[in-house]
Structure 1
Amino acid sequence: MKALGQHLILELHGCPAAILDDPQRIEAAMIAAVEASGATMIKPYFHQFAPQGVSGMIIISESHFSIHTWPEYGYAALDVFTCGDVIDMVAATNSLREGLEAKNVQQMMLSRGILDLPDDMIHHKPQSKPAAAAGGLT
């Protein structure tokens, strides 16, 4: 059996509140992690909540990176989902730990889309389509 993708779940604790409440700093840390992992970035989006906290996502050709922060607890929840096996999850984790100055990182890896098919029948996502061909979504 083969999996369509890998899902890395990261629990980051002990992060400075000032970092976790700064959407520009979080976006920069996430982009650095995408680049370190070897993923292909398509589009980032980040949103700051009131009174605090940031959520964001980077769509990558291989799937996505996402983050939700709780500055008041020094905590960030991150997901890295990838179709295929070309992303360096260790490099992504190390980059995120450094960029968010986490004191403690817990992680769990899940195989997603486990199918009982021959290897030659498992196909990962094709290259992304231009926005117009994908229904005009941006």
Structure 2
Amino acid sequence: MKHLGRHVLAEICGCEFNILNDIKKVEELMVNAALSAGAEVRECVFHKFSPQGVSGVVVISESHLAIHTWPELGYAAVDVFTCGEKVNPWDACNYLSDHFCAKHMIAKELKRGMMPESYLKEAVNI
């Protein structure tokens, strides 16, 4: 069976409070993570919560990177979804883990769009 994309769900723990609570830094690191994985960045939306925390998404030509941070816990939940063969979602997750100064990352990969080859051929001919 062929798949359309790869989706890595990462639990990034033991991160620096000041990094995870800084909206500009989180956005910069998310964009750089996308670029380091070989993605083409399209647009970004980020929001700073009070008293702490950041959520955001980086839309890439190949899909997206999303994050929500809990600085008080040193924790970031990260999703990296990529389509095609050009971009490696693990590169983005590892970049973020390193630059958040994380002590630990637990991640798993899901194959998205698992469809029989015959279905893909039929869909193209519609």
Separation in 1, partners of 2:39, 2:75: 25
* Equivalence for 2:82: 82
| CA apart distance, 1:120 | 6.5
| CA apart distance, 1:121 | 2.5
**Deviations 1:28-50, CA, capped at 9 Å, x for gaps:** 11111011000010001110011
> Where in structure 2 are there 5+ consecutive unaligned residues?
none
| CA apart distance, 1:91 | 2.0
* Equivalence for 2:103: 103
**Deviations 1:8-41, CA, capped at 9 Å, x for gaps:** 0110000011111100110111111011000010
> Where in structure 1 are there 5+ consecutive unaligned residues?
124-138
- SS of aligned partner of 2:113: strand
- Among the aligned pairs, what percent are the same residue? 44
TM-score (norm 1): 0.83
* Equivalence for 1:63: 63
Aligned residues: CA RMSD: 1.7
Separation in 1, partners of 2:122, 2:65: 23
Q: 1:56 to 1:71 in 2, by over 3 A?
A: same
Segments ≥4 residues shifted beyond 3 Å: none
Is the CA contact 1:44–1:59 (under 8 Å) kept in the aligned structure 2? Answer: yes
Q: 1:37 to 1:23 in 2, by over 3 A?
A: same
Q: 1:122 to 1:15 in 2, by over 3 A?
A: farther
Kindly tell me the number of residue pairs found equivalent between the two proteins: 123
**Deviations 1:53-95, CA, capped at 9 Å, x for gaps:** 0000000001000000001110000000111221122321221
Separation in 2, partners of 1:121, 1:73: 47
Separation in 2, partners of 1:8, 1:86: 15
Separation in 1, partners of 2:107, 2:5: 16
TM-score (norm 2): 0.91
* Equivalence for 2:25: 25
Alignment of 1:115-130 (within 5 A): 115-118=115-118, 121=121
Which residue identity does 1:15 align to in structure 2? C
Is the CA contact 1:17–1:74 (under 8 Å) kept in the aligned structure 2? Answer: yes
Structure number with the higher helix fraction is 2
- SS of aligned partner of 1:77: strand
